[in-house]
Amino acid sequence: MFIEPNRRREPPHLRTGWIEVICGSMFSGKTEELIRRLNRARIAKLNVQIFKPALDTRYHEENIVSHSALTIRSTPVQSADQIPDLAGNCDVVGIDEAQFFDKDITNVCNILANQGQRVIVAGLDMDFSGKPFGCMPQLMSIAEYVTKVHAICVVCGDIAHYSYRLVPSQSRVLLGETDSYEARCRRCFHLGDHAGPKEWAYEDVKNEE
């Protein structure tokens, strides 16, 4: 469980900033955790600014929406370098779907943290082929706090941290939901279309009969 560090109420030039990264596969609860932290910051009367890439319009053109239907207002931006000016001198900056931003997002997060702001970033750590996704490895390496969340494999029920693509597109960026992706464990991800229930699942059922 992530223990949130204290956000001291100090003048901007005296504040200590930091970066938090929330990562994992699709359907793992990344956005839900991001929204939870941002709402807690607002309850603490902190000034919060939230951003997402403009290309992500799956649920809403402006709001950030989790798979469980939690929502929070955000500002869509075309590029990472727009964020510092829009964030201004706020206390907390939230960024969703960081893997879709250009490479400048790493420098932007450093700038914000260096000027005393708490930066909370959520994104996919791997793409549909199981390779590190965009800027996420760099963000994870410079962050003070990294939280990796997991989904449940839809094939066997194990812990899942891969996003398996169900449609025949090879484009690295393909927005989609359960009709295009499903969460899978390592074994079922690599088995691909040949994945099926594990033998022990049938044994458990037999033992219960």
Within a domain: 17 = yes
Within a domain: 2 = no
3-state secondary structure of 115: coil
**In the chain, what's the furthest Cα-to-Cα distance?**
67
Of 127, 125, 187, 193, give the one whose Cα is nearest residue 158. 187
Within a domain: 182 = no
Of 76, 92, 78, give the one whose Cα is nearest residue 37. 92
Residue 25 marked as a ligand binder: yes
Distance of CA 134 to the CA centre of its chain: 13
Residue 30 marked as a ligand binder: yes
CATH number of the domain residue 115 falls in: 3.40.50.300
Residue 82 marked as a ligand binder: no
DSSP states of 141-201 as a string?
HH-SEEEE--EE-TTT-SEE-EEEE-S----S-----TTTEEEE-HHHHHHGGG----HHH
Within a domain: 188 = no
Within a domain: 159 = no
What's the structural domain count of the chain?
Answer: 1
Q: Model confidence over 28-85: pLDDT tens digits? A: 999 899 999 999 999 999 999 999 988 765 554 556 665 555 668 889 999 999 999 9
Residues 193, 167: contact at Cβ < 8 Å? no
Within a domain: 78 = yes
Of 189, 164, 188, 192, give the one whose Cα is nearest residue 178. 164
Residue 181 marked as a ligand binder: yes
Within a domain: 95 = yes
Domain that holds residue 125: 12-149
Distance of CA 112 to the CA centre of its chain: 18
> Which residues belong to the active site?
97
Q: Is 83 exposed, middle or buried (0-12, 13-18, 19+ CB in 10 A)?
A: buried
Residue 26 marked as a ligand binder: yes
Q: What angle do CA 64, 65, 70 make, to 5 degrees?
A: 120
Block means of pLDDT (10 residues each) for the chain, 209 residues, are: 66 79 94 93 94 72 57 87 95 94 95 96 94 94 97 94 84 62 93 68 42
Q: pTM for the whole thing? A: 0.82
Within a domain: 111 = yes
Give the pLDDT score at 200.
43
